[in-house]
Amino acid sequence: MGVFKYSPVDFLFTCLGLVFLLLDIVLDVWAVVTLYQEKAYVSFSVLLLFLVGSSFLVQAFSWLWYSYEDFRKYTKVDKYVNEGQLKILHLLQLGIYFRLCKLALTLEVLVFSKSSRLHVAVFLSHDLSMLRLIETFSESAPQLVLMLTIMLQRGELDHWAGAVCSSSIACSVTMYHRSLRSFLPDKQKQLIGSSIIYFLWNLLLVASRIAALALFASALPCFIVTHFVCSWVVLFFFVWRSKTNFMDGPCGEWLYRATVGLIWYFDWFNVGEGRTRFRTLIYHGYMLIDISLLCGLWCWKMITEPPYFEIPPPCAIITAVCVCAFYVLGLVFKMIYYKFCHPNLVKADLEGDDSEIAPGAAVTLKYTYLQCLAPCPRIPAVTEFLHYFGFQLKPV
């Protein structure tokens, strides 16, 4: 029977995630201060909007998850905070850091006292990884588009900075992937080579999308907002048509759908039941056409109305073609991953006898509410997020 697992590699990725979370705060403060000192007040305001909006969005999801769990106390840290104090922490935008403290102390107990509460650490890690994923696409991705746009308009593009930031976004997606794999049976372990391929195709897809948006915004800055709003409305409509059922309340569900629409603006996030190949093909086809149009408009603008720094027409054309080619290459890596590296769980892999559960075992993967020895946060929600990575769970 499959139980929760938390390998040393998963522990390492969790620790790295905690470090990156703190590093992200430092870099955000540095970016805000730099733009303010340069008197770039428009860019400063836009960046501040990204940071504040993303923070409120993440805190809203964190608070809703606590409320759906009836504010149950799973760790020793929870015992020192009541519902009112927890609300104050979220109003002060500190909810995610409270979760960070809980995870850090739980991992410390697991490492030094050999506690059997592994399932608590797995769920805490999963929640924090999900919040980081939301923050990645509501803050980091738009922020990277903004910074690349500023560099392009100034003619001071730093390719390494763009590559590092895109790698950070792809790394967040990969780390969430590793976190979600903690719910899979032991025989379906995630190999390092598989994680590398998963990281590569996410890097190529996200980097090409962000590059196309930055190119378009640098040439036609007034139209990027219109492009986002129109695209988000279309994507939100398709999320609604997918009839998602992730959150426990109607208001939370609409917030979730709006957030998925935002994520879809940058990358694919599967939220539907059943086979998703057709939906994925439609999405990537739409995204490839959109990227081609954005790059084509930028190329046309550079040739007809070049900026103060000269870009030869052949270089503009090569740049536009390369951005589209990177997206196609990312799709090739994605097909390689799902063809050779992705585990396909079937009903036989998920079945098991409940009598085999030993003391300290956590959860078996079943579609009809996971069986657990101790209460854990939002167990039913795990099954829907497994669809994000293509795991087709069948009723048992």
- Between 271 and 310, whose confidence is greater? 271
Share of the chain above pLDDT 70, in %: 69
pLDDT at 132: 85
The reply to whether 161 and 55 lie within a common domain is yes
User: Confidence band (pLDDT; 50, 70, 90) for 15?
Assistant: low
Last residue of a domain, one of 149, 166, 183: 166
The reply to whether 12 and 94 lie within a common domain is yes
Last residue of a domain, one of 166, 183, 208: 166
- Between 1 and 338, whose confidence is greater? 338
- Between 149 and 307, whose confidence is greater? 149
Q: What is the pTM of this model?
A: 0.80
Q: What's the whole-number mean pLDDT along residues 341-345?
A: 61
The reply to whether 157 and 214 lie within a common domain is no
Residue 390 lies in a domain: no
pLDDT at 58: 93
Residue 229 lies in a domain: yes
Q: What's the whole-number mean pLDDT along residues 160-180?
A: 73
- In this predicted structure, the answer to whether residue 169 has a pLDDT above a threshold of 90 is no
The reply to whether 308 and 206 lie within a common domain is yes
Number of domains, the chain: 2
Task: Select, from the ranges 61-65, 266-270, 306-310, 382-386, the one with the highest average predicted confidence (pLDDT).
Answer: 61-65
Which of 11-15, 98-102, 270-274, 378-382 is predicted with the least confidence, judged by mean pLDDT? 378-382
The reply to whether 134 and 6 lie within a common domain is yes
* The total number of residues written for the chain in this structure: 396
Residue 363 lies in a domain: no
User: Confidence band (pLDDT; 50, 70, 90) for 110?
Assistant: low
- How far apart CA 212 and CA 206 sit, in angstroms, is 10
pLDDT at 31: 86
The reply to whether 295 and 157 lie within a common domain is no
- How far apart CA 3 and CA 357 sit, in angstroms, is 9
User: What is the per-residue pLDDT across 314-330, written as a single tens digit (0 to 9) for each?
Assistant: 888 999 999 999 999 99
Structural domain boundaries, residue 105: 1-166
Which of 130-139, 271-280, 323-332, 371-380 is predicted with the least confidence, judged by mean pLDDT? 371-380
The reply to whether 112 and 195 lie within a common domain is no
Q: What's the whole-number mean pLDDT along residues 301-323?
A: 84
The reply to whether 7 and 156 lie within a common domain is yes
pLDDT at 107: 64
User: What is the per-residue pLDDT across 44-54, written as a single tens digit (0 to 9) for each?
Assistant: 999 999 999 99
User: Confidence band (pLDDT; 50, 70, 90) for 393?
Assistant: very low
Which of 98-102, 222-226, 234-238, 376-380 is predicted with the least confidence, judged by mean pLDDT? 376-380
